């Protein structure tokens, strides 16, 4: 009788241990799943935030990769030119890297850090990291006075303000190449491409000359 009771007690102990083990295993799985979900959300937030934040700005410059035709047309507008080049909102770096391959000292400014890091990797992979540099920066906080060639893939909302900024900062021998959307007040000196691949080239001596002429005209109409 005593042996039977001992056997039953031992069986109950085993069942109790198994039950505790099952509960512990479920609790561990729950913690693991919670950790995975939480970690995934953190990663998604870290990756998505640089892409979504510009959309909350007053003027949004979205990332839309340049087509091969657009790159070809940009380079065509830069033929026989040299020196420094800046791509305003450089995205994944393809314009800057293509310009560096043509001999330009090319720089890209981009607000999205993930795109900047990827651009730096691409430049290194293609052996262009000495002539292609990328920086995380807001275009409105950068002076472009040191560049003789400027490339911009803009949106209509930003072009009037950028037009004024470039008129003020660029030297008289600079050239501005606009893709997708032209500047509202400047007359292009050269145009090439069709459809979404059209690019417009503006020589600063022309739009700075127009600015001076307009100023002189206003002074003649309204003398002090």
pLDDT at position 206 is: 87
Whether residue 75 sits in one domain with residue 47: no
Mean pLDDT, rounded, for 51-58:
43
Q: Are 134 and 93 in contact (CB under 8 A)?
A: yes
Whether residue 123 sits in one domain with residue 37: no
pLDDT at position 207 is: 84
Domain count, the chain: 2
In a domain, residue 220? The reply is no
Whether residue 119 sits in one domain with residue 44: no
φ, ψ of residue 79 in degrees (nearest 5): -60, 145
Mean pLDDT (the chain) is 79
Task: Answer with the one of 12, 28, 56 that is the final residue of a domain.
Answer: 56
pLDDT at position 125 is: 96
Q: CATH number, domain at 202?
A: 3.40.50.150
Q: Are 91 and 110 in contact (CB under 8 A)?
A: yes
φ, ψ of residue 159 in degrees (nearest 5): -65, -40
Domain extent at residue 82: 68-212
Whether residue 17 sits in one domain with residue 103: no
Mean pLDDT, rounded, for 73-93:
95
Whether residue 77 sits in one domain with residue 175: yes
Reduced to 3 states (helix: H, G, I; strand: E, B; else coil), residue 179 is strand
> Does residue 126 have a pLDDT over 70?
yes
Mean pLDDT, rounded, for 21-26:
62
Full-model pTM:
0.69
Lowest mean pLDDT among 78-82, 159-163, 210-214: 210-214
């Amino acid at each position: 009788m005593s042996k039977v009771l001992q056997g039953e007690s031992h069986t109950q102990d085993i069942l109790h241990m198994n039950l505790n083990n099952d509960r512990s295993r479920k609790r561990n799985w729950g913690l693991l799943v919670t950790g995975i979900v939480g970690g995934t959300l953190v990663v998604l937030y870290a990756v998505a935030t640089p892409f979504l934040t510009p959309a909350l700005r007053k003027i949004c410059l979205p990332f839309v990769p340049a087509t091969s035709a657009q790159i070809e047309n940009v380079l065509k507008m830069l033929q026989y030119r040299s020196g420094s080049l800046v791509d305003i909102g450089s995205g994944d770096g393809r314009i800057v890297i293509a310009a560096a391959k043509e001999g330009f000292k090319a720089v890209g400014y981009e607000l999205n850090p993930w795109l900047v890091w990827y651009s730096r990797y691409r430049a290194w992979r293609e052996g262009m990291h000495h002539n292609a540099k990328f920086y995380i920066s807001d275009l409105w906080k950068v002076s472009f006075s040191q560049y003789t060639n400027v490339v911009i893939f803009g949106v209509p909302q930003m072009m009037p303000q950028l037009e004024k900024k470039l008129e003020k900062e660029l030297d008289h021998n600079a050239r501005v190449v606009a893709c997708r959307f032209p500047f509202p007040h400047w007359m292009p000196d050269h145009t090439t491409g069709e459809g979404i691949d059209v690019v417009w080239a503006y020589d600063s001596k022309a739009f700075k000359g127009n600015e001076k002429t307009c100023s002189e005209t206003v002074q003649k109409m309204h003398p002090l």
